[in-house]
Amino acid sequence: MDLLKIISDIEKVDPEIYDRLDPRRSVFKHFGTAGKALASAALPGMVASIFSKAYGQTSGLDAGVAAVLNFALKLEYLEMYFYKKGLETTGLVPEGAGKVALQRIFQDETAHVKTLRDTLGTQAIAVIPETAFDFTGSQGGKRGALFADVFSNYATFLTVAQAFEDTGVRAYKGGAPALMSNKAVLTAALNIHSVEARHASHLRTMRRGGPNAAASATNPKSWISDGETVPAAAAAVYGPGSPATPPSGSTLANASKFFPAESNKNQAGVQLDTALATLSLPATSFAESFDEPLDTTTVAAIAVNFIVSGTF
């Protein structure tokens, strides 16, 4: 058993391994003075004890971190089942590159669910069944459907898919500050965030080349743009969260704790369209250059449209 190699391998997934082991540094001094046979016999038990003490103190996630991850898990279930149902619906998704892409996105969302559940362990919410979601937006028939033809009209399906992914991107960014106390979890969440952004971009490309290609008003760019037209039912995905503006008397330290709409042109207190007016940049570029976070309350209000009333 090569102890140093074990630690080196662990360092690849836990850069803080040496910090965790530092208080137990004296343990390693004994290997130099112990007999070779004795050291070899005792090593497995000693290693188990060392790592038990090193990681035992971090078993279980902070309640705030777990809450953020469980909220993200609900969104990942929603996305995973959405693509699953779309791919299983006969005649909805045309054969070809688009279908391959949607299959890959489905696989990614499935992996995200597993990753979040594995990270949460026993703190994870109960498995959510597919029947808990209503992707027409009628909340299980409780009200009129927002997207009645979502599984019969490919253009609608792609539109809803884009809205889900854009919501996910903003949600992960909004939840990131609450994960900063756990670097490993924060890194994993940001890795998922970047993939969700790539999903959104690819879906926008698919929409440009899809059924509505001739209708310029419905052809999105590969990124969120202030000038794009979105269905009224999806407007909240791109609108402001709560609070939409910095609290009164905000300082530099807390001025970022607000959630402006994607049309926001003010970054770090600088009104970009005014400050950079002499550059004659396109009017939409100031908002397009920055991605805005969204708070949990607003994201939940969006997601509840697709949850069967009373299921969870």
194 plus 46 within the same structural domain? no
52 plus 123 within the same structural domain? no
CB 224 within 8 A of CB 238: yes
- As a whole number, mean pLDDT of residues 190-218 equals 81
> Residue 268: how many CA atoms within 13 Å on its side-chain side?
2
Predicted confidence (pLDDT) at residue 58 exceeds the cutoff of 90: no
37 plus 128 within the same structural domain? no
User: Considering the domain boundaries, does residue 263 fall inside one?
Assistant: no
Which among 17, 40, 56 is the end of a domain? Answer: 56
The C-alpha atoms of residue 18 and residue 97 are separated, in whole angstroms, by: 46
The C-alpha atoms of residue 65 and residue 54 are separated, in whole angstroms, by: 20
User: Considering the domain boundaries, does residue 89 fall inside one?
Assistant: yes
Confidence of residue 209 (pLDDT cuts 50, 70, 90): confident
What Å distances lie between residue 106 and 86, 126, 246, CA to CA? 10, 21, 37
Provide the domain count of the chain. 2
What stretch of H or E contains 297? helix 296-303
Model confidence over 103-114: pLDDT tens digits?
Answer: 999 999 999 999
296 plus 154 within the same structural domain? yes
Q: Name which of 40-49, 171-180, 227-236, 244-253 the model is least confident about.
A: 40-49
Classify residue 149 by its DSSP letter.
T
93 plus 42 within the same structural domain? no
Q: φ and ψ at 266, to 5 degrees?
A: -110, 120
Predicted confidence (pLDDT) at residue 31 exceeds the cutoff of 50: no
Predicted confidence (pLDDT) at residue 254 exceeds the cutoff of 90: no
Q: φ and ψ at 92, to 5 degrees?
A: -80, -55
**pLDDT given at position 50:** 52
Which among 56, 74, 92 is the end of a domain? Answer: 56
User: Considering the domain boundaries, does residue 38 fall inside one?
Assistant: yes
47 plus 78 within the same structural domain? no
Q: Could you tell me the CATH number of the domain that includes residue 139?
A: 1.20.1260.10
User: Considering the domain boundaries, does residue 108 fall inside one?
Assistant: yes
Predicted confidence (pLDDT) at residue 22 exceeds the cutoff of 70: no
43 plus 77 within the same structural domain? no
User: Considering the domain boundaries, does residue 148 fall inside one?
Assistant: yes
The first and second tokens of residue 281, run together, are: 């940049």
117 plus 49 within the same structural domain? no
41 plus 165 within the same structural domain? no
The C-alpha atoms of residue 39 and residue 60 are separated, in whole angstroms, by: 33
User: Considering the domain boundaries, does residue 187 fall inside one?
Assistant: yes
Predicted confidence (pLDDT) at residue 27 exceeds the cutoff of 60: no
User: Considering the domain boundaries, does residue 197 fall inside one?
Assistant: yes
Predicted confidence (pLDDT) at residue 149 exceeds the cutoff of 80: yes
Which pairs from 215-220 meet CB under 8 Å and 24+ separation? 218/155, 218/159, 220/162
Average pLDDT score over the chain = 84
Q: Is the peptide bond before 243 cis (omega within 30 degrees of 0)?
A: yes
Highest mean pLDDT of the ranges 7-11, 61-65, 224-228: 61-65
User: Considering the domain boundaries, does residue 279 fall inside one?
Assistant: no
Domain that holds residue 45: 3-56
Confidence of residue 208 (pLDDT cuts 50, 70, 90): confident
